[in-house]
Amino acid sequence: MPDMPDMRGTEMRTGGCLCGAVRFEARQVPAEAGICHCAQCRRWTGSALIGVAVPEDAVTWTGAEAIVRYASSDWAERGHCGRCGTPLFFRLTREGTQWSGQYDMPLGVFDDPEGFSVTSEIWIDHKPGSFAYAAPETRKQLTRAECLAIFDPGNAA
Ligand SMILES: [Zn+2]
Ligand SMILES: [Zn+2]
């Protein structure tokens, strides 16, 4: 079945974890991806999180019982496959922020990793200079403080 752009110019995409225990069908997947350079994403992915934001209600999981959720901070959790460890999503647990209600899903979990372009970077002030990849600074960039103002608005310093 071909990708079917919806009226927002987004696509339906399928994907899953390394072992296949978790599969998903995601609608409204945007083409614009972002990189997070925070230390948590660095450890969680082993590099940096390059992900796309998909509305939670646009994702249908198969094998959801294999998903393990880990509360990585007071404002967010991460889901991974409990069998193979594949990172599946980052999501804000705070309600009502501009980024609530969506899964930030690593590009690598989609069956077809083509068709995305990286247009933004966050936690830009924590990006390691020694990383081999070079991210053009023409992208939209947010610092840690700017991110915390979104993720955890009540406590952001
Ligand atoms: Zn798995
Ligand atoms: Zn991060």
How many angstroms separate the alpha carbon of residue 15 from the centre of ligand 1? 11
Residue 155 vs residues 40, 101, 149, 151: alpha-carbon distances, Å: 19, 20, 8, 9
Which tens digit of pLDDT belongs to each residue from 70-112?
999 999 999 999 999 999 999 999 999 999 999 999 999 999 9
The pTM of this model reads: 0.84
Which tens digit of pLDDT belongs to each residue from 124-141?
999 888 765 656 667 788
**C-alpha to C-alpha distance for 121 and 139, rounded to whole angstroms:** 7
Ligand sitting nearest the alpha carbon of 49: 2
How many angstroms separate the alpha carbon of residue 40 from the centre of ligand 2? 6
Helices (H), 37-143: 39-45
Which tens digit of pLDDT belongs to each residue from 83-93?
999 999 999 99
Question: What share of the chain has pLDDT > 70, as a percent?
Answer: 89
